[in-house]
Amino acid sequence: MGRLTLIFRLAVRDIRHRPAETALALLAICAATAVLTLGLILHGVTANPYQATKAATKGPDLVAQGPDASQVAGVTKLAGVTASSGPFPGTAASLGTSGYTGIAMVQGRTETANAAVDQPYVTAGTWVRPGGVVLERAFATSLGVGVGDKITLNYKHFTVAGLAVSAAWAPYPELCQTGCMIGGPNDPAANAPDLNGRPGVIWATESDVRSISSYFGLNYVVNVMLKNPAEAAAIANGGRSFQANLTSWQALSTADALLVTDEQTVLQVGTFMIVLLALASVALLAGGRMIEQTRRVGLLKAAGGTPDLVAGVLLAEHLAIALVAAGAGLLIGWLTAPVLSSPGAGLIGTPNAPSLTPGVAGLVLAVALGVALLATLVPAIRAARTSTVSALATASFGGARRPRRHKRLIALSTRLPVPLLVGLRLAARRPRRSLLTMASAALTTTMAVAVLAFHSTAAQSYISQQGIANPIVQRDSEALFTGTVVLILLAVVNAVFTGWVTAVDARHSSALTQALGATPRQLLEAQAAAQGMAALPGVIAGVPLGIALFAAASHAHHIDLPSAGLLVLAALGILAAVAALAVVPARAVARGSISGVLQSETA
Amino acid sequence: MSERSELPRRLPSLRGGDSRRGPKPAERSEALARRDNSEALARRDNSEALARRDNSEALARRDNSAVLRARGLRKEFGRGDVLVRAVDEVDLEVAPAETVAIMGPSGCGKSTLLHLLGGLERPTGGELLLAGSRLDKLGERGLARLRRTAVGFVFQAFHLIDELTARENVELPALLAGRSPRDARRRALELLERVGLADRATFLPAALSGGQRQRVAVARALSNDPLLVLADEPTGNLDSAATLDVLRLFDSLRIAGQTLVIVTHDSRIAATADRLISMRDGAFIDETRLTGGTRGNSGTHGDLGALAGLEG
């Protein structure tokens, strides 16, 4: 018990003496756990809103669509059908608003809003009337259209009477995920409007629908309720012989969830990368602390501390930091989740309160502790193994752990200007640290390029949809933005940590190089060069990796790559940032006098 | 032991004469002034040493015969109640080709003074001239340039870079000074040969003995033909045999005309100097002129020559 108290007291004292490093470690683990929490609790957030919408609109369990009204109506004769509505006539239409053109599935309805199944819930304005149409809310939101606005359907003018939601159709832009019956024109010779982009649903009176159906003909929809709704999916899947397309409520619910499915993928991929970066951050921090504290390790051992005690103190410090960071990350993730888990305009109701279950909390905690443990284990074991005499003899860990020698790089460096000469040698003397820098740069570049590819592809998609905003793209963009901000934050923390550790580790050789005639500026440039050179392979690898990541995560058939100029600019920007960030801690470490360093450290 | 027996073979070019017969500094300066021509140079075995001496000479003429001059040099650390005056109003002149030893108890400010003289520390007050430049007025770049071209350091702890071989350590100052890799390498090998370590050029410092490391450090200090070599306790970390190696090396440097300022606890190395200064509490308290560093005078350290053990 006394031993645990001692470890605790030593760990707490060390944490209190190093507030900046502790804060950065907290930030790294907290960011990773917050994003992980977000990704985990976004599971199933649309389930509740879909059920709420289904209840409010008397949503169908099964929807049948087809060109023949009588065949579509056959669905009402299926066993277990308890209620039905339709057949409702529908047609495809070219939609024109002020400044935009789009495509719509227009469904005919009676003016009285009393359908037994699928009566869309009006969220603004009124129900359909002659000349007055109702737009599906997510579609209207993307178009920027509101009640009272004028639109055209197949060249005919209408007024927007209202906005509504329905559980019988997947909201814009995923309408066709469940069958949208958009075909070619009846008469190819006719002057039919082009139908480009993703359709949304518009309700109009039956007579209005018939008045605009001359180009694309009519389709019919019948909605039914089942005694056992759970059978809907099986009926829909087994209905191949049936002369209509059948869509189950389960398929509709899944299509509704598409809004957050991609978002979730983005967050999961982002989380993975962020956890890796956090791991690198904490590893650098732990390694850096060991460099600074070798003498302390020696003192602990000289005062009777065992290797276990030394390793225990270091582990206790980082596990304590990880625990606090995981708590903060869980809280931040839980509070932020509602922002990202909004069901969108296509559904009504609020999502399930973000479910911070014991499972989620346990997983997040385990990841945080795992990161701390993995990152601290090697330095802790090394500290435990450090000889007491060698630790006491040198304040620099460099004295205990000899730098690596790379003969070829040293020979190559002689041909370079002084900053690159010193920088290359700095990078070469600690290859594992250089690998961490490279990995960090690779992750950051990968994410940055994936974001650029996403925006480039989304921009092309936006153009192809005549400028209509895509809510999924917007949501993915928000999630990507969140992930990227956190990733950049961690990359900055990493770059600062690496610069600091390198500067502390190279304090002796830097002071010596200065004594031999290098200027302080040349040494700062060398630090920047060392980080830049270590990051360069990572940045180069990050470009194709980013494109591959986007292709894999988005399942896109076609990727619109960002321009080569933009990719080069991004890569150079990351490289410059890594180099510049290394200078900040190096400048702080270099503040001590040369003679002070040379007198305090032995070779 | 083996190193000791091999040493005479290793230092042929630097062991230019009998150290007991070395002239006094003023006499040597005069002699050098007279020999300011190629004819005189041709008579010398070691042309580089003479070239350095020639430089020192030119500098001395320009600056009243002093390579280094300090006036009222002061260095303070801390402030208020915890103010420590590590160097207190020190006046010092070092003539070309002169060897000055500074002795004193631990903490008396010797090393701080040496670091001030070499531009590693900035003085709190006073004037300091090296190679005609006011060190106390120079910016960081100017100080760095001076350290690169005019000063060579030898430290007690050797301060060799662990991952570099002996040759790479020695060539580093030349590379920092902008010399071509080939020139730097050639110069490093030449210097290593001169200090008797040609066969250890590819060895890492960890594979060298303490004495060998210090000889590498001396070679490194000479890499850019400095006007002044500053040595801080060069034998402080060495055993007796290695100390003798380094003593002989410094004696050879002195004979070759290298201007030296050596801070030491070791009376044997002090005995090789032309002038011995005693320091206490940051100030000079005594100054003794020695004759060529191996013959005692009537001063406090009159028997240092015997202590040096160079006779044996």
Round to whole Å and give the CA distance between A550 and A542.
Answer: 12
pLDDT bucket at B60, cuts 50 / 70 / 90 = very low
Q: Give residue A547's pLDDT.
A: 87
CB distance B240 to B211 below 8 Å: no
Q: What CA–CA distance (Å, rounded) separates A363 from A41?
A: 12
A39 and A264 Cβ atoms separated by less than 8 Å: yes
Spell out which chain A residues touch chain B, with contact meaning CB-CB distance below 8 angstroms: 398, 402-405, 410, 414-415, 418, 421, 425, 429, 508-509, 512-522, 593-595, 598-599, 601-603
| Alpha carbon of A6: minimum distance to chain B alpha carbons (Å) | 34
Which residues 25-84 in chain B show a CB within 8 A of chain A?
Answer: none
Q: Please tell me the predicted confidence (pLDDT) of residue B151.
A: 92
Cα gap A41→A50, rounded to integer Å:
17
Torsion B20-B25-B31-B36 (CA) sign: positive
**Helix, strand, coil percent content, chain A, rounded in steps of 5:** 65, 10, 25
> Which candidate, B205, B190, B259, B261, places its Cα nearest to that of B237?
B205
Residue A136, beta-bridge partner list: A164
CB contact under 8 Å between B120 and A603, yes or no, is no
Residue B75 pLDDT > 70: yes
Nearest-neighbour CA in chain B from A426: distance (Å): 11
Distance from CA of B228 to the nearest CA of A (A): 13
Task: From A110, A114, A164, select the one nearest A136 (Cα to Cα).
Answer: A164
**Chain B residues whose beta carbon lies within 8 Å of the beta carbon of residue A513:** 172, 176
With CA atoms as reference, the chain B residue closest to A417 would be B178
Which of B113, B163, B208 is the best mutation test for A, with the most CBs of A within 10 A?
A: B163
User: Residue A426's closest chain B neighbor by CA?
Assistant: B163
* CA gap B141, B133 in Å, rounded: 13
**CB of B145 less than 8 A from some CB of A:** yes
- Nearest Cα to Cα of residue A222 among A68, A51, A55: A68
Picking from A504-508, B232-236, B293-297, which range would have the lowest pLDDT averaged per residue? B293-297
pLDDT score, position A281: 75
Among candidates A442, A478, A447, A444, which has minimal Cα distance to A549?
A447
User: Residue B37 carries which DSSP code?
Assistant: S
Residue B148 and residue A517: Cβ atoms within 8 Å?
yes
Which chain A residue is nearest to residue B205, measuring alpha carbons? A603
Find the length of chain A. Answer: 603
Residues of chain A with Cβ-Cβ distance to B164 below 8 Å are 405, 410
Say if residues A200 and A174 touch (Cβ distance below 8 Å): no
Residues A505/A398, Cβ–Cβ less than 8 Å: yes
pLDDT in tens, B159-187: 898 889 999 999 999 999 999 999 999 99
> Which residues of chain B have a CB within 8 Å of the CB of A408?
none
DSSP label of A99: S
Beta bridge partners of A205: A109
Beta strands in A43-149 (DSSP E): 62-66, 81-96, 101-109, 121-125, 132-136
The Cα–Cα gap between A461 and A197 comes to 9
Closest CA to B106 of A599, A45, A447: A599
Residues in chain A with CB shorter than 8 Å from the CB of B75 are none
Contacts of B163 in chain A (CB under 8 A): 402-405, 410, 425, 429
Find tokens 């983005």 and name the residue.
A266
Contact A603 B184 (CB under 8 A): no
From B112, B147, B213, residue closest to A516, measured CB to CB: B147
For the question of an ipTM over 0.95, the answer is: no
CATH of domain B2-294: 3.40.50.300
Q: For residues A223 and A243, give the distance between their C-alpha atoms in angstroms, rounded to a whole number.
A: 15
What is residue B239's DSSP assignment? -
CA distance B145 to chain A (A): 6
Q: Domain spans of chain B?
A: 2-294
Q: Which residues contact A534 (CB under 8 A, 6 or more apart)?
A: A427, A433, A434, A435, A437, A438, A441, A498
Three-class SS state of A206: helix
Chain A residues in contact with B120 by the CB 8 A cut-off are 515, 593-595, 598
For residue A175, what are its two tokens?
């309408």
Over 50: is that where the pLDDT of B74 sits? Answer: yes
Q: How many helices (H) and strands (E) does chain B have?
A: 12, 10
Out of A533-537, B27-31, B74-78, which region has the weakest mean confidence (pLDDT)? B27-31
Given a cut of 60, whether residue B13 has pLDDT beyond it is no
Per the CB < 8 A criterion, the answer to whether B73 and B91 are in contact is yes
| Rounded Cα–Cα distance for residues A519 and A507 (Å) | 14
Is B7 a residue whose pLDDT tops 60? no
Report the distance separating Cα A541 and Cα A558, nearest Å.
22
Question: Which pLDDT score, from 0 to 100, does residue A45 have?
Answer: 55
Domain boundaries, chain A: 1-50+256-402, 81-226, 403-603
For B160, which residue in chain A has the nearest alpha carbon? A603
Contact criterion met (CB < 8 Å) for B184 and A521 = no
Give the closest of B111, B172, B185 to A516, CB-based: B172
Across the interface, whether the CB atoms of B176 and A513 are under 8 A apart is answered: yes
* CB nearest to A404's CB, from B158, B160, B163: B163
pLDDT single digits (tens) B87-134: 999 999 999 999 999 999 888 888 899 999 998 888 999 999 987 788
For residues A433 and A439, the answer to whether their CB atoms sit within 8 Å is no
Query: What is residue A391's predicted lDDT score, i.e. its pLDDT?
Result: 60
Which spans in A84-176 are helix H?
137-143
3-state SS assignment for residue A63: strand
- Looking up tokens 């092309």 gives A460
Q: With 90 as the cut, is the pLDDT of residue B248 above it?
A: no
User: A101-109 and A199-205: which strand pairing?
Assistant: parallel
Give dist(CA A316, CA A310) in Å, integer: 10
Here the tokens at position B308 are 């040096």
Helix, coil or strand: residue A353: coil
Query: Which residue from B131, B298, B126, B303 is spatially nearest to B228, judged by alpha carbons?
Result: B131
Prediction pTM value: 0.67
Q: Which tokens in the block code for residue B80? A: 């208020």
Compute the nearest-CA separation of A368 from chain B (Å).
37
Could you tell me the mean pLDDT of each successive run of 10 residues in chain A, 603 residues long? Answer: 76 79 81 78 60 79 82 79 85 79 84 82 88 86 83 87 83 68 58 65 88 80 86 73 75 71 69 75 73 67 69 82 89 76 55 65 85 77 68 49 82 91 89 86 87 75 55 70 78 83 83 89 91 93 89 70 88 92 82 73 45
Under 8 Å CB pairs connecting chains A and B tally to: 91
CB contact under 8 A, B162 and A398: yes
